[in-house]
A and B are shown apart, each in its own frame.
Chain A
Amino acid sequence: MRVGSLHRAISAALVNLTLAACMPSHQMTHEPAPGRTCPGSDGPAWYFPEQAADNARLEDWCVTVGPPVVEPEPSGSFFVPPAGKPGGDLTVWSWNIAAGGGDVLRFLAEEALLRCAGPESTLGPEATHFALLVQEAFRQSSDVPESVDRSVVPRAAAEETRPGGRPDIVEVAEECGLSLIYVAASRNGEQSTDGRREDRGVAILSTLPLSEPRFIELPYEAARRVAVGATVGHGSGRAVRLVNVHLTSATPPARMLVTGNGSRLRQGLAIADAVLQMEESDLEGADASGPVPSTVLAGDFNTWSNSETPLLQLRDMFPDSPPPLDQPTRGAFPTDHILFRQGDGVAAGILASSYARTEERFHSDHHPIGVRLHFHQR
C-alpha cells in the first residue's frame, strides 16, 4: 500500500515536472544570442531572452526599427519642491496612447498641469514632478530603416480621429521640455511620410532627469514587445526606478496551446527577472551604484481581470502595490496597472488613495492611470 502511494506520488511529481517543463523559459541575459544584429549589444543596458527560438523571431522584427532615443535632461524650467527628497512628491502616470490616438499635449496640460513652451515650459503651482510611462508611443524619423528581407512590418495602428496635430513622442518631449527615453518594439506600418518612417514602442517622459536607461526585449509571443526602465532622483539620491511594460495582447490559438495561455505570464516573469538582475548589479560588480531603489512597474498588462495569473505573481514580487483599481481602463477590461516595491535607498511610499484613472481617455482607447509617490525620512 505504501509502495503504491509512493509510486503514485512519484508519478504525479514526474507529470508535474513534465508539465512545468513545457512552459518556455522566461530567463533573461545581457548577452545577445548568436546571430543577433540588433537592437544593439552595447553594454549592460539591454536584457534579452535566453531562448534561441525567441531571438530568431525577435531579430526579424528589430531590423525594422530605429535606435532608442535617450534625452536624460529635461530642458524645461520646473521649479517645484524636488522629488526624491524628504517632503517631495512624484506622480507616476501610465498611459497607452494608441500610437498617436491619444492627445498627449492636452493630457499634459489638464492632468499634469504642464504648460508646454519648449525650454520655457513650467508646471502649475499645484503640480508635482511627474513621470509619464507611455505605451504605443510612436516616432517618425529617417533613422527608422527601410524594411529589409525577412523583416516583419506590422500594419499601422488604427487611430481614433481627433482634432489637433499628431506630434510624435520626440516632438512632445521637445515641445514640453521633458526628459525622454524611447525604445521601439516594431514598425508602425510600411508607409513613410516625407521620407520619415514610423516605429512604435514604449517611452518615459519626465520633468526630472532620467538616468540608468535599461531596455528589456521580452520573450517572443505574438509580436515583439519591449520594456524600458530608468531611474529618477535628485542630487545624490536615486529615488525610484521606473519600469514601463507593455505585455502581449491576443495570443494566436496555436501559441496559446503551447504555453497553456501563459504568454503574458512569461513576459511578466521575464521583466521581473530583468529587474532582479538590475538590483543585483546595484549591489555588486564594477558598476555597483549603491542601495536598491524603490521600483514602480507600470503599464499596459493587457489583462482582462485583476486576478489574472501574471498580476497575481507580479504582485507577490511587488508587495507594496496599491490595491487594484475597481474601474476598467480599456473598454470593460482592467488592462493597465501600477505596481510598487519599496527599496533600500531613499524611502518612498505610494499614496494608495491617489491611485486612480482619469475620467477622460483623451481620444486613446485606454484611460490614463496615475499614482502619487511621497518621499520621506527613514
Chain B
Amino acid sequence: MAQQSGSAAAAVGGAALGLPSGVTLAFVGSLVPCTQTRPGPTCVRWSAVGGGVLGLMGGAMLGASDSDQLSDVAVGAGIGFLAGAAAGLVLKSAAERFGWQDVAVVGLLGGSIGAAPLGSAIGFLGGSAVGLAAWGLFDSFDTPDLIGAAAAGMALGGIAEWLVRGIGAQGDDSPQFSVVLPLTVSF
C-alpha cells in the first residue's frame, strides 16, 4: 500500500477517532487493576485520560500523514462498532435495566477494538498468557485477575497500535505496522 499524503482535516479526523478509542481501551484495561487500589475510580479515570491522550496523538499523526490508512482504520472502527452494538442488543434483550445508552457503550468498545484490531488481539493473547502464568504461580491471583490481565493486555496492545501507526506514518513509504508470528506450517 503506497503511503498517501494526509491533511489537517484528516489529522482532526484521526484525533477524533483515536481519542475515544484510547479512552475506551484504557478504561476497560484499567478496570480490574484499578479497582483493587484505594483510589479506585480516580485511577480508572486517570488511565482513561492517559489512553485518550495517546490515542489522540496516534490518530492525529496518522491522519496528518496517511489518510488512506486512516480510512482503513475508520472502516475497522465502524465494523467493530456494529459488532459491539449487536452484542449490546443481545445483552439488552437478556438483562434487566440494560438501556440504549448501554448498547451504545458496548458499540463504542467494539469500535475501539475494531480501530486497532491487530494490536488489541496480540495484546489480549499476551495478557492472557501472562495472566495464565501468574494464575498458575500465585495463589492470590484469582480468576478476575486473569480476566483483568487479558483486558489490560488488549488495551495496551490497542493503544500501542495507534502509536505505532501514527509514528510509522511519519516515516518512510513502506507500510509501518507489521507483525511476525512464530508459526511453523507443515504438510
Using a CB–CB cutoff of 8 Å, the interface residues on chain A facing chain B are 15-16, 19-20, 22-23, 154-155, 222-223, 250, 252-254, 256-257, 259-262, 265, 304-305, 307-310, 312-313, 332-333
Q: Which residues of A contact B46 (CB under 8 A)?
A: 19
CA distance A358 to B43 in the complex (A): 36
B41/A253 in contact, CB under 8 A? no
In the complex, the 10 A-B pairs of residues with the closest C-beta atoms, listed nearest first:
A309-B40, A260-B41, A262-B41, A253-B105, A254-B101, A260-B44, A19-B45, A252-B102, A307-B36, A253-B102
**Chain B contact surface mostly:** helix
* Cβ–Cβ contact A313 & B45, under 8 A: no
Q: Is the CB of A257 within 8 A of B105?
A: yes
Residues of B within 8 A of A260 (CB): 40-42, 44-45, 48
Verify if B142 is at the interface (C-beta below 8 Å from A): yes
> Which residues of the other chain, B, contact A261 by a CB distance below 8 angstroms?
31, 34-35, 40-41, 44
Q: Can you list 17 contacts pairing A with B, beta carbon distance less than 8 Å?
A: A15-B49, A154-B96, A252-B97, A252-B99, A253-B109, A254-B101, A254-B105, A257-B27, A260-B40, A260-B42, A260-B45, A261-B44, A262-B41, A305-B36, A309-B39, A312-B37, A333-B144
Chain A nearest CB: distance from B120 CB in Å? 18
B residues within 8 A CB of A155? 96
Taking the closest CB of chain B, its distance from the CB of A313, in whole angstroms, is 6
| B144 and A254 within 8 A (CB) | no
In the complex, besides A256-B31, A305-B142, A308-B36, 4 extra interface pairs with C-beta distance below 8 angstroms are: A154-B97, A252-B101, A261-B41, A262-B41
Tell whether B104 is near chain A: CB-to-CB under 8 Å.
yes
B-chain residues with CB within 8 Å of residue A222 when the two chains form the complex: 97
Tell me whether A262 and B98 are in contact in the complex, defined as CB-CB below 8 angstroms, given that A22-B45, A253-B106, A305-B142 are known contacts. no
- One of A23, A254, A305, A332 near B41 (C-beta < 8 A): A23
Interface residues on B, range: 20 to 34
Answer whether residue B143 sits at the interface, using C-beta atoms and an 8 A cutoff: yes
In whole angstroms, how far apart are the Cα atoms of A354 and B104 in the complex? 48
Residue of B nearest to A16 (CB): B42
Give, as a whole number of angstroms, the nearest-CB distance from A95 to chain B: 23
Are B104's CB and A254's CB within 8 A? yes
Distance, CA A252 to CA B102, complexed state (A): 6
Query: B164 to chain A: closest CB distance in Å?
Result: 27
Hey, what's the 0/1 contact readout for B24-57 against A, CB within 8 Å counting as 1?
Answer: 0001000100111111111011101100000000
Indicate with 1 or 0, residue by residue over B60-97, a CB within 8 angstroms of chain A CB atoms: 00000000000000000000000000000000000111
| Cα distance A118–B97 in the bound complex, in angstroms | 41
User: Given A257-B27, A305-B144, A313–B102 Cβ distance below 8 Å?
Assistant: no
Q: Which residues of A contact B36 (CB under 8 A)?
A: 305, 307-309
Contact of B97 among A223, A305, A312 (CB under 8 A): A223
A354 and B45 alpha carbons, distance in the complex (Å): 39
CB-defined contacts of A332 to chain B, threshold 8 Å: 142-143
Residues from chain A with Cβ under 8 Å of B109 in the complex: 253
Q: Which residue of A lies closest to B37 (CB)?
A: A309
Q: Whole-angstrom distance between the alpha carbons of A238 and B145 in the complex?
A: 42
How far is B27's CA from A333's CA once the two chains are assembled, in angstroms? 23
Contacts A20-B42, A252-B97, A265-B40 given: A309-B35 contact, CB under 8 Å?
A: yes
A259 in contact with B41 (CB, 8 Å) = yes
Task: Verify B98–A252 contact, CB threshold 8 A.
Answer: yes
Assess whether A312 is in contact with B142, with CB atoms less than 8 Å apart.
no
Give bound CA distance, A308 to B142, whole Å: 13
Q: Using Cβ atoms and an 8 Å threshold, which residues of chain A touch B48?
A: 260
Q: How far is the CA of A81 from the CA of B146 in the complex (A)?
A: 49
Candidates A16, A154, A254, A312; contact of B38 at CB < 8 Å: A312
Q: Tell me, in angstroms, the Cα distance from A265 to B43 when the chains sit together.
A: 13
Name which residue of chain A comes closest to B24, CB basis: A257
Tell whether, in the assembled complex, residue A19 and residue B42 are in contact, meaning their CB atoms are under 8 Å apart.
Answer: yes
Q: Bound complex: CA of A222 vs CA of B96, how far in Å?
A: 10
From residue A221, how far is it (CB to closest CB) to chain B in Å? Answer: 10
Alpha-carbon separation in the docked complex, A154 to B40 (Å): 30
CB-based nearest A residue for B147: A304
Complex Cα–Cα for A304 and B147 (A): 12
Q: How far is the CB of A374 from chain B (nearest CB, A)?
A: 31
Residues of A within 8 A of B105 (CB): 253-254, 256-257
Measured between beta carbons, the chain A residues less than 8 angstroms from B37 are 309, 312
